[in-house]
Amino acid sequence: MTQADATLSVLIVDDEPMARASLRSLLEAEPGVHLLGECTNGTEALASLRNERPDLIFLDVEMPGMNGFEVLEALDEENPPLIVFTTAYDRYAIEAFGVHAVDYLLKPFDDERFAQALERARDHLVRERVVDASRTLAQLVQPQASQPGDLQDDGKAGPVERLTIHREGGVEMVETSSIRWVESADQYVRLHTSRGEILMRESMGALERSLDPACFQRVHRSAIVALDQIRQLVTQSGGLGKLQLLDETWVPVSRARIAALRRRLG
């Protein structure tokens, strides 16, 4: 599959009429792009996303009521659409890439910069589709085989004390007590443990359900932390936060989850 084969369905979310019109004009001039619609705020975006499944969202950050990051938190999907943030402010760039945005367009942007962002989105979509197709083929050829790095599902509900990860040629056991924090990494999660980093194919939501909620807290769409590894919580402007862990690592805390974390920390 090539970029030319990747048809993109796109949703525009921006409260500024001129910004929406500019994006609409640029997208309509692009081959292989299907514009699903336009939303003027976060509430409209969530309503639209309940009925549509776009490949890509051009998402404004600062909007009345619900901002762009709050839209993503409210969506709360393990595999959300690709996101290109569009904003007049550069101060949100770090947070944007913390939620794995494909690109970050600073207004006003020119046609060339827009085309670059769209090309990145197409490339990302192609890679996702190739991975999905390869995984499906592998499951058809070897339906009983465990894939490298997969978490074993033993059918037990509730928290586990160790994770059993099947890899090619063997099995790796990871004690959950050794996990300092977890971050999402596209189709995988990266376990930061006392003995190093371990990559595992699993969703953040499924892993969160496997971990003991008395010991771990989801602090961001892309991060879970062990409570006993937290050194300090720092509140930032706009309701954001960040955690410093005992090993000096800084982990982002989202607006939607910071209040729950404060309660846990007392």
Beta strands in 70-146 (DSSP E): 82-87, 103-106
Residue 136 has pLDDT above 80, yes or no: no
The residue ranges of every structural domain in the chain are 3-138, 150-265
Residue 206 has pLDDT above 90, yes or no: no
Q: What is the pLDDT, as a whole number, of residue 142? A: 46
Long-range contacts of 155-161 (CB under 8 A, 24+ apart): 159/210, 159/211, 159/212, 159/213, 160/210, 160/211
Task: Summarize the confidence of residues 92-113 as an average pLDDT.
Answer: 87
Residue 138 has pLDDT above 50, yes or no: no
Is 186 strand, coil or helix?
coil
Residue 4 has pLDDT above 80, yes or no: no
Lowest pLDDT segment from 66-80, 200-214, 238-252:
66-80
Task: Summarize the confidence of residues 83-109 as an average pLDDT.
Answer: 87
Q: What is the pLDDT, as a whole number, of residue 151? A: 52
Task: Summarize the confidence of residues 156-185 as an average pLDDT.
Answer: 83
Per the prediction, the chain carries an average pLDDT of 83
Residue 46 backbone dihedrals phi, psi, to 5 degrees: -65, -40
- Amino acid in the structure at residue 22: S
- CATH number of the domain located at residue range(s) 150-265 in this protein: 2.40.50.1020
Beta strands in 150-215 (DSSP E): 150-151, 162-167, 170-175, 179-185, 188-193, 196-200
| Confidence label for 85 from pLDDT (cuts 50, 70 and 90) | very high
pLDDT in tens, 28-43: 999 999 999 999 999 9
> Measured over all CA atoms, what is the biggest interatomic distance in the chain, rounded to whole angstroms?
57
Q: What is the pLDDT, as a whole number, of residue 129? A: 61
Share of the chain above pLDDT 90, in %: 44
Q: What is the pLDDT, as a whole number, of residue 144? A: 41
Residue 166 has pLDDT above 60, yes or no: yes
pLDDT in tens, 104-114: 999 999 999 99
CA distance 206 to 261: 20
Question: Which CATH class for the 3-138 domain?
Answer: alpha beta
Q: What size, in residues, is the chain?
A: 266
Residue 117 has pLDDT above 60, yes or no: yes
